[in-house]
A = this chain, B = another copy of it.
Amino acid sequence: MSDQINRVVLAYSGGLDTSVILKWLQQEYQCEVVTFTADLGQGEELEPARKKAEMAGVKPEHIFIDDLREEFVRDFVFPMMRANALYEGTYLLGTSIARPLIAKRQIEIAKMVNADAVSHGATGKGNDQVRFELGYYALNPDIKVIAPWREWDLTSRTRLIEFAEAHQIPVAKDKRGESPFSTDANLLHTSSEGKVLEDPWEEVPDYVYSRTVNPEDAPDAPETITIDFERGDGVALNGEAMSPATLLTALNELGRKHGIGRLDLVENRFVGMKSRGMYETPGGTIYHAAHRGIEQITLDRGAAHLKDELAPRYAELIYNGFWFAPEREMLQAAIDHSQEKVTGTVRLKLYKGQATITGRKSPYSLYSEKVVTFEDDQGAYDQRDAAGFIKLNALRLRLLGRREA
C-alpha cells in the first residue's frame, strides 16, 4: 500500500481540531480534502462548517453536509435499544453508536468522489479511532486511513493553536486556554471527558452538564407520559405518532426538563485503560426504561432471559466498534426476532432525575391475570402441578445430596 494519497474524505465538524486537521492534510499529504459534516442532532449550526471548509480551499462540490438524524435513530439507536444494551451495566453507548454511521457515510462519499482515503479527528488514546476505522475497513477493505492525532507532532494544545494561527484558522477565545474537558454530542447523548473529570474521586462540577437541568432544579411536580411501541420500536409519545428522530428529540426535551439521564462513570476502554466520563442521555434513558417496560408483558421468559444474557456481549461489541462485524449482526438477528410482538403502551413518571414505569399494556400481553391471581383461578393453573415440577427439578440435587452424605 503506497502512502500516496490523492483525495481524502474528512469527518469535519468545523471546530478547531478538525480545521487544523483539514489544513494539515492538505499540507502533509498534498492531497485534496473532501469534508463531510453530519447532523446527528448535536445541536450545532452546520452552515458555518461549510464556510470554513470553503475558506480552507475545499471545492464546493466536495463539501458534504448531511442531515442523518432519522437514519441515526431508526437504523442505529433503535436497533440497539431493542437489545436493552448497557455497557458495563450503566452506559447507554451514545458515542459508540454514532461512529459506525459516520464511518459508513464517509465511505459512501469516498466512493462518490473517488477518494482513496478517509480521515477523522479522534485521538490515539480513545475508543473512537477504533470505531471509525473498524467501520472504514469493514465497508472498504482497501481504503487508506489517516489518523492525524497518531501521526503529527501537534501533541500539545499550545502547538495546535500555534499551527492554527500560523495558518489563519480562527481560534475562538475560549479555546485559547486549555478547554476544561472534551465533549461529544448527538441526538442520543452528550459525553464529557478529561481535565476536571480526570480525578474519579472529584464530583463532576455542575457546569459540565449541558443537556439536563440539575435534578434539584427540576420541577417539583412529576410529569406522566406514555410511549407507544410497535415491534420493539417507539412510535408515539402521549398518543401522538412520531418519527424516530422526532420521538427522541421530544424525549430529550422531557429528560432535560426533569434532569434525567446523567451518568458519572469510570469505564474500561477497548484500548486497555480506564477513563472517567460524564454522560447525559436524557431521552435515551427514558426510552430505555420504557422499552424494558413493554417487554415485561410482551416477551416470553425464554426470549427475555436469552436477551439479558446476550446483551452484555452485544453492548461490548458496539462499544468496541464492531457494529459491522458478523457477530453483531447475528446477535441483532436474534434480538430482532424477539421483537415481533413488542407492541403496546408504557406509562412513565418523570421526576427529578428519574423515569419510572407506572403501567404497561399491550394487545399482545402475555400477562394473564386469570392465571396469576391469588383468588380462585377456576382451573387455569393446577397448583398440584407444582409438586411434580419441584420434585423433578430437585431430583439432581437430591442425588447430589445423597452422595455428599
Contact = CB atoms under 8 A, between A and B. Distances in A.
Contact of A390 (B133, B139, B193, B301): B133
B366 A150 contact: no
A181 to B, nearest CB: 9
Contacts of A150: 383-384, 386-387
B396 A273 contact: yes
A404 to B, nearest CB: 9
A273 B387 contact: no
A273 B395 contact: yes
Interface string A114-137: 000000000111000110011001
What copy number does this chain have within its complex?
4
A55 interface: no
A368 interface: yes
Contacts of A141: 397-402, 405
Interface stretch (A238-246, A249-257, A356-364): A356-364
A302 B396 contact: yes
Given A273-B368, A359-B202, A394-B138, A330 B303 contact: yes
Contacts of A399: 141, 272-274, 300, 366, 368, 371
A194 B374 contact: yes
Contacts of A386: 124-125, 129-130, 147, 150, 271, 388, 392
Contacts of A312: 305, 308-309, 311-312
Contacts of A297: 200, 266, 274
Given A273-B395, A309-B309, A137 B381 contact: no
A341 B383 CA distance: 37
A268 B89 contact: no
Interface string A349-387: 001111011111100111111011111100101111111
A395 B381 contact: yes
Given A306-B327, A331-B334, A353-B352, A393 B134 contact: yes
Contacts of A373: 194, 198
Contacts of A368: 273-274, 399
Given A134-B390, A147-B387, A374 B123 contact: yes
A338 B84 CA distance: 23
B341 A327 contact: no
Contacts of A264: 356-358
A147 B289 CA distance: 38
Nearest to A389: B392
A322 B301 CA distance: 13
B390 A129 contact: yes
Contacts of A403: 341, 364-366
A325 interface: yes
A24 interface: no
Nearest to A394: B137
Contacts of A199: 369
A292 B267 CA distance: 11
A194 B321 CA distance: 32
A391 interface: yes
Nearest to A215: B351
A42 interface: no
Interface string A310-354: 011100100001101111111101111110010000010001111
A142 B399 CA distance: 10
Contacts of A354: 215, 352-354
